[in-house]
Structure formats: C-alpha cells, structure tokens
Structure 1
C-alpha cells in the first residue's frame, strides 16, 4: 500500500535538474508521497544555464515524467519561470492541458491573496552582472559536487555534515549584500500591493515569517531548494508549513487547533488516501 497526503498546494523551487547538486531521488520520493490539487514549480526547476547532454541522469528524467503524470491525473501544474530557466519566459502565459507557464501567479486562498514568483528580479547580481552570476553558477555546481565528497568522508568518520557552499555563499552575500535585503524588499512590495502571502525561492533559504512595516503586514515564505535543504511549501487547512525531507519524510501534515473538533475518520479522510499499487522496476 502506498499512502499519499492530500494537500491543497505544494510549492517547490530551485531543483536544478541537470546539475550534479540536484537531489532528484529525494524530490521523486516527495512527489510520490503527496496528492496536491495544485503543484507550483517556482523557478529554477530545470537548470538551462548549466544544461549538458553529458549529464542528465535517469532520476532527473523521472522527476519530469512524474510531474507530467501528475498533470495528466488532474493536478494543476503551474511552472513559474526563474533565472536558471529564463529561456522559458518566451513561452509565458502558455497553457497545455493542466500545465501552464507563467512569470508570476496570484491565487486567492480562503479570502487571502497569495503572490508567487521566483525572486530573481530582486537580485542585483543577476540583473546587473548576469554573466558573472552565470559564471558563479558553474562554480557553485562544482563546489556542491566537492561538498558531496567531503560529506561522504565526514559521515564515514561519524562526524556532522558540513556545507561548504552555504558557508561561502552566506559569506559572499553578507559581504556584497548579494540579496540587497531580499526578504525586506519583497515583503515591503507585497504589503504595498495588498498581498497577504508572498511566496518565492531563488536564495535557497526556506523560511516562513511575518513581516510588518508601518503600512501593514504580510507573510513571507520561501520554498528553499532541492540541492541543500530538500524543502517544499505546503498549504492545507488554511495554513502554510515547510516540508523538510530529512525531518518529515514519514510524517503526516501537522495540524492543530483548526481541526481539533474534527472526527478522527474525517481527519484521516482529509489528509490521506490509500491506494493499492504494483511495484514497478525500471
């Protein structure tokens, strides 16, 4: 038996299919565990910047096939373009079946407005020095591959994993103000435009946090990535949560006071379905 969690929206970003840093098998496990009404692919899903015919493993192709299968089964798949897959922006506002390609998305969720976009338009390094950002992308890919070797060695010795890329990336961002106060700029703009939620990716930092200024407040959400953090955003029971593959792989969707009065049978029906299936070997 395969247990799937019913959720209203799943949002993922920064998968970087086609790169050594992508953990496609982790993502495939996650996608196989959920039954969303909407799947929001919030940019940098396929890394066209670094695409190479020499490296596109079967597991990466399986992720694409899984997404296509989900769409054919009725899931509304919305692909929001990012900077690493910016070539798709020429196809913005194209819809094929249940798959649509857009640059941004606005949804109304239980009377609240949610604004989705990748976030690269707020990144000064991408806008003003795209060639340098692309060069940095290749370096980041090599660094991630090196980090895998380092972590393999550390785990063999029973030591804690270490992220070289995070350490360097955070240091560089702090030194040159890489994100130009990314979260604050995005949140301020969301407040100015009356959005209750602003959902982005790009900086590989999963987060949910209320942001407030003198004009109002909004909830800032970042879906993280599938290179280092293995995270997604999920919306169900009128609330958001961060799904973390390393911590939540076998955990149900957490709920609290909103459903404390529900009957057990209703709760089980709301969050899971059980389906019989045959194991397939490919």
Structure 2
C-alpha cells in the first residue's frame, strides 16, 4: 500500500506497558503514513505502571516501528510526559533522528508557530500529590480492563462499544471543569506568547478548537490517546485535522517485511549508522538470492 505522505503527525498517551494500550491499532496507523516529522507528545511508555510481567510483543513492535521510521528519515521528537517523566533526565539527548525534549516550538508554513508540550504542568494533583495521581493511574488502568470485558460481551451481542471512563468524565462536573480549565489555560498562555497553535496531550480528549480572548486567538489542538479514542493529529497542506482510527478508513496493508525480520539490536544500530544498516539489508538480500539459486540448481 502506498503510504500517505504528511508533513507532521502527533500522537500522545499511548501508555505502552498497560492493559489499555491499543498497540496493534497504533502499528497499523504508523504503517499507513510517511510523515516528515513524528511528535510523540508524552506518556508513550507508561513507566509509572511498568512491569516486567506485562510488556507484550505488540508493544515492543510499536517501539521498533518508531525506530524504523527514524532510520528512514522521519524526524522523531519524544516529548516527555508525567508517566514517562524518568526520561526527563535525558532531555536534549539526540540519537540520530530521535530527540528527547520537554517541549517543542516549530515554525510551520507562513511563519506560524506551534507550541507543543504534554500538559502535565497544569495538573495540580501531579505537582502537589504525585502519589494520588499514580493511584488514579492504576485505577484508570483497572477501569479499562473492566471496560474491555464489557465490550467483549457487547460485541458478542452485536452491540456498539461503550466507554465507562468517558461516561464517568462526562457525568462528573469536576472532571468536565478540569478539562475546560486545562484547554483554556493552555490557549491563553499560547495567545500571550504569540503562538498560532498550541498542541497538548495528557487529558485524553482529542480536540481542534479556536479559542479567543481579548488579546487574540489561537488554535488549540489535543492529540487524544491510544487507549480509548485512538486518535492523532495530522498537519499537511497548511491544515490540521484530528485523525480518528475507528472512523477514518484504512486501506488493507501489511506491516513492512523488513520490520518483521529485524531484531531490536539491528533497529538501534540504524539510528546511528544508516549506511551500515543499508549494507546489512544488501547482505541479507544477497544471501536470499544465493539460497534461491542453490534451490534452483537442486531442482
């Protein structure tokens, strides 16, 4: 399948290492695009809840896929969030096309500026009571597990999926107010600093909305998550859109064959030495051609 070429893709809140992560769907999405830049806007690996007992192959494949994209020329920016805050000690580290940072300002078409950060800086519970935030994270993961069982039953009955967490958030005034305040605060700071776009994650609420105040306006964007919403942000032809995996059709495709054959060591090597990687691919191909020739001779 011919991949969609786009200028910029933003994903956030993947939460690799948790039961709620929809890794297979994310691999499908990443395999369908060819972005010039890929922004990982926080909480990609859930270090808070990381356990050696649960990190399935599909979660590892997501990391392999991202590294593979970087080896092919995509600029990858890993912006740290609260669940992967341990990576902040490596801020400003470059590994070939992969950069670890806390925030990012990009100048896009026409000189417009995009301010990109995860958004946990606005979360009072994280700043003042991290233990409470972590407890809430475990509770959310448990809720997702229960929700998965409920949706399995609904699917058997031929009924639509149901989101318990969305129902709870929409029915609790405090949660609705928090989300609204989060978006307003991010937008007002962007306006104050002259940013045309402000792009966040953290609250798992995909959004594209122009927010105004007496000082001006900005386009607020949120990439959502890959736990429930399965959404991303895409920028191309001077326009932003929210991509919904469950609504936007994907043509049939197959995961890159080279990705299946490469192990993690080979993938890491591609970050720092692409020429060596290409030589390895050529060697593998020569081996295959030689094997085919021998097989033909046997016939």
Which whole-Å deviations, capped at 9, do the CAs of 1:27-84 have from their partners, x for residues lacking one? 0000000000000000000000000000000000000000000111111000000000
* Residue correspondences, number: 258
**TM alignment of 1:259-274, pairs within 5 A:** none
Task: Determine the C-alpha separation between the residues in 2 that align with 1:176 and 1:124.
Answer: 15
Moved over 4 A (4+): 277-282
**TM alignment of 1:106-185, pairs within 5 A:** 106-110=105-109, 111-172=111-172, 174=174, 177-179=177-179, 181-185=181-185
Cα 1:130–1:97 change in 2 (3 A) is same
- Specify the alignment match of 2:78 in structure 1: 79
Which whole-Å deviations, capped at 9, do the CAs of 1:183-213 have from their partners, x for residues lacking one? 0000000000000000000000001000000
- Specify the alignment match of 2:23 in structure 1: 24
Task: Determine the C-alpha separation between the residues in 1 that align with 2:59 and 2:243.
Answer: 21
* 1:95 counterpart = 2:94: yes
What TM-score, normalized by structure 1, do the two folds share?
0.87
- SS of the residue aligned with 1:247? coil
- Specify the alignment match of 1:206 in structure 2: 206
Which whole-Å deviations, capped at 9, do the CAs of 1:148-171 have from their partners, x for residues lacking one? 000111121122221112222344
Unaligned runs of 5+ in 1: 252-273
What TM-score, normalized by structure 2, do the two folds share?
0.82
Q: Which has the higher helix share?
A: 2
Unaligned runs of 5+ in 2: 262-299
* 1:197 counterpart = 2:172: no
Task: Determine the C-alpha separation between the residues in 2 that align with 1:13 and 1:175.
Answer: 20
8 Å CA contact 2:116, 2:200 repeated in 1:
yes
8 Å CA contact 1:234, 1:241 repeated in 2:
yes
Q: CA offset at residue 278 of structure 1? A: 5.4
8 Å CA contact 1:187, 1:198 repeated in 2:
yes
- Specify the alignment match of 2:220 in structure 1: 220
Task: Determine the C-alpha separation between the residues in 1 that align with 2:16 and 2:175.
Answer: 29
- Which of 1 and 2 has greater Rg? 2
8 Å CA contact 1:190, 1:196 repeated in 2:
yes
